Amino acid sequence: MKVSVLGAGGWGTALAVLLSERNNEVILWEFFDDYAKVLNAKRENIKFLKGVKIPKTIRITSDLKEALESSDFIVLAIPSHILRSMLLNIKKLDFKGRIYISVIKGIEQETLMTPTKVIKDVLGKVKTAVLSGPSHAEEVGRKVPTTVVVASKDTKLAETIQSMFFTNYFRTYSRTDVTGVELGGCIKNVIAIAAGTLDGLKTGDNTKAALITRGLAEMKRLGVAMGGEEDTFFGLSGIGDLIVTCDSRHSRNRSVGEQLGQGKKIEDILSGMEMVAEGVKTTLSVHKLAKKYKVDMPICSEVYQALYEGKSPYDSVRDLMKRPAKSEKEFLI
């Protein structure tokens, strides 16, 4: 396959290396020309994926036209808030017949669209898929056994992309529930901020386990309300990604929450980060979606209040624990 990976962050770089190992013809696109030259010279992403060599077979460029003109598949590994502007630039180039694979875990704030919906909104009737699951770039780059899911409404396309990424350390499953897979990958970042906050407060394992369980229920409620399949949230892009993001030292979203729990201001936390923590922006989108679909999401609501209204993490934990008693069956629905 001829594949372009747009976005030379840690995840884009790890996937480019993986795809190259599968004997695909790979181009890696980096926004900044100066850093593209660094990547070409060092053949290592020293900022975002240190220690992983980039094969010489991977062509690195900052020229978008060069990156796209000969590829059949376009992997979008960029922050969700710049997706639309990127797609508008692609649209100007007028390339037809490309297949777009989103590995983005965010929701557009203005429209509340998931990445594949933004792709179709800008480019029209193009073929799309999403790849998601518990998959930190740092571990994929080191060939740590990892399992993800590829979703497309076109079953044959999902299976084609599944095969394209499948290696002896990167196992891919396929399904057709694009909405559920995308929402699982997005909402879990909000729950991860809450999990990190508990770490910052030094609560305990009991509290973290409860948060993950109740967070999964919130993910499922909103996901099903928006058209996702219930069992998707018990799969890799749901509970799988939720567990790894809530408990991993690699998780940027968990780290944001941990610093909140330690008393730092969100503005100071974000100013000290070079990579994007999608959960911060996603929290606002999920807050709006919960209101739109009339879905009860108390954990996500508390994260929203902490990030956007300055609520104390101590008060958030207290208010969650003081909510009226319910049947567990009722809360799981």
Residues acting as catalytic residues? 188
Report angle CA 183, 301, 280 to the nearest 5 degrees: 60
Pair of tokens at residue 33: 């020309």
Which residues 6+ apart lie within 8 Å of 308 measured at CB? 283, 284, 287
CA gap 319, 296 in Å, rounded: 15
CA gap 192, 212 in Å, rounded: 9
| Pairing status of strand 49-53 against strand 44-45 | antiparallel
Burial class (CB in 10 A: 0-12, 13-18, 19+), 83: buried
Report which DSSP code applies to 47: T
Number of H helices, E strands in the chain: 16, 10
Q: Which residue has the tokens 């009991």?
A: 206
CA gap 131, 178 in Å, rounded: 9
3-class secondary-structure state, position 282: helix
Q: In what order do the strands lie in the sheet with 2-6?
A: 59-61, 25-29, 2-6, 73-76, 99-102, 127-132, 146-151, 170-175
